[in-house]
């Protein structure tokens, strides 16, 4: 089995990725690993920055993702700024609140949005494998559900039942999510590499 270090400091993402990718061994970063500045202009650049920080520091192959929520009525925001939409040290709750405030009065049919994940596997020799996953949906008028993380309580994927990601079970979200799609593709590409 190939071994990769999972280049993320976000434990919610660690749990999802570890459950989606089963055919490679994933190690965690050390707890005191310093997050690199996500200064890229797009999701791929940021995913690469996170993976490269681990490759450079640990000399091991790394896997990372960068994810953005793109809201059409906000011109595609928060996009690459999803973790800091309401400010540098914003919590999940602050970011959700800002989205709902910014969309106040916007009717259901114009609340279209998508989650996009770019996943990367980066090797010490600089070679990389990249895969993307997208899931279309809508932003709800108020948060619903206790599961998931981040913007999950206000994101309803286009699927019969109209549940938010936070109202779905863990496996159900991974089955259809941006991250599920991206990492299953990455796993396929790695199997053929
Ligand atoms: P790392 O950079 O350490 O991986 P992060 O939390 O900054 O962790 P991202 O940049 O990929 O991760 O994600 C930006 C934000 O988007 C994240 O903080 C969440 O608020 C949100 N987000 C990411 N994936 C999500 C998901 O599956 N469901 C809901 N919100 C998500």
User: Which residue puts its alpha carbon closest to atom 23 of ligand 1?
Assistant: 67
Q: Is 8 in the pocket of ligand 1 (CB under 6 A)?
A: yes
151-171 pLDDT per residue, tens:
999 999 999 899 999 999 999
Q: Is 149 in the pocket of ligand 1 (CB under 6 A)?
A: yes
User: Which residue puts its alpha carbon closest to atom 24 of ligand 1?
Assistant: 67
77-110 pLDDT per residue, tens:
999 999 999 999 999 999 999 999 999 999 999 9
The pLDDT value recorded for residue 83 is 96
User: Which residue puts its alpha carbon closest to atom 30 of ligand 1?
Assistant: 150
109, 171 contact by CB (below 8 A): no
What is the band of 42 on the pLDDT scale with cuts at 50, 70, 90?
very high
Task: List, by residue number, the catalytic residues.
Answer: 66
Q: What is the mean pLDDT of residues 64-72?
A: 98
- Helix 11-20 / helix 178-191 crossing angle, nearest 10 deg: 50
How high does pLDDT run on average in the chain?
A: 97
107-148 pLDDT per residue, tens:
999 999 999 999 999 999 999 999 999 999 999 999 999 999
Q: Is 48 in the pocket of ligand 1 (CB under 6 A)?
A: no
- Using the Cα atoms of residue 37, residue 40, residue 46 and residue 51 in order, give the sign of their dihedral: negative
* 6 C-alpha to ligand 1 centroid (Å): 14
The pLDDT value recorded for residue 160 is 85
Percent of the residues in the chain that have a pLDDT greater than 70, as a whole number:
99
Of ligand 1's atoms, which has the minimum distance to the CA of residue 155?
A: 29
User: Which residue puts its alpha carbon closest to atom 21 of ligand 1?
Assistant: 150
The pLDDT value recorded for residue 140 is 98
Query: CA angle 12-72-146, nearest 5°?
Result: 30
Q: What is the mean pLDDT of residues 59-86?
A: 98
φ, ψ at 101 (rounded to 5°): -65, -45
Q: What is the mean pLDDT of residues 66-80?
A: 98
What is the band of 12 on the pLDDT scale with cuts at 50, 70, 90?
very high
* 159 C-alpha to ligand 1 centroid (Å): 22
CATH number for 3-192: choose from 3.90.950.10, 3.40.50.1820, 3.40.30.10, 3.40.800.20.
3.90.950.10
Please list the helix, strand and coil fractions of the chain in percent, rounded to the nearest 5, in that order. Answer: 40, 25, 40
The pLDDT value recorded for residue 33 is 97
What is the band of 191 on the pLDDT scale with cuts at 50, 70, 90?
very high
- Using the Cα atoms of residue 18, residue 54, residue 29 and residue 69 in order, give the sign of their dihedral: negative
């Amino acid at each position: 089995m190939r071994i990769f270090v999972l280049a993320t400091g976000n434990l919610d993402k660690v749990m999802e990725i570890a459950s989606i990718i089963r055919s490679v061994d994933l190690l965690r970063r050390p707890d005191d690993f310093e997050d690199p500045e996500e200064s890229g202009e797009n999701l791929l650049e940021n995913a690469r920055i996170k993976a490269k920080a681990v490759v450079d520091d640990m000399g091991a192959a790394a896997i990372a993702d960068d994810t953005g929520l793109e809201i059409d009525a906000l011109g595609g925001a928060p996009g690459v700024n999803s973790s800091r939409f309401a400010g540098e040290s914003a919590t999940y709750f602050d970011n959700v609140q800002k989205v709902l405030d910014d969309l106040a009065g916007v009717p259901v049919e114009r609340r279209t949005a998508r989650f996009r994940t770019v996943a990367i596997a980066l090797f010490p020799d600089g070679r990389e494998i990249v895969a993307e996953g997208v899931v279309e949906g809508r932003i709800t008028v108020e948060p619903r559900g206790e599961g998931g993380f981040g913007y999950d309580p206000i994101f309803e994927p286009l699927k019969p039942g109209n549940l938010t990601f936070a109202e779905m079970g863990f496996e159900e979200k991974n089955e259809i999510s941006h991250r599920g799609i991206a990492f299953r593709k990455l796993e396929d590409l790695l199997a053929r590499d």
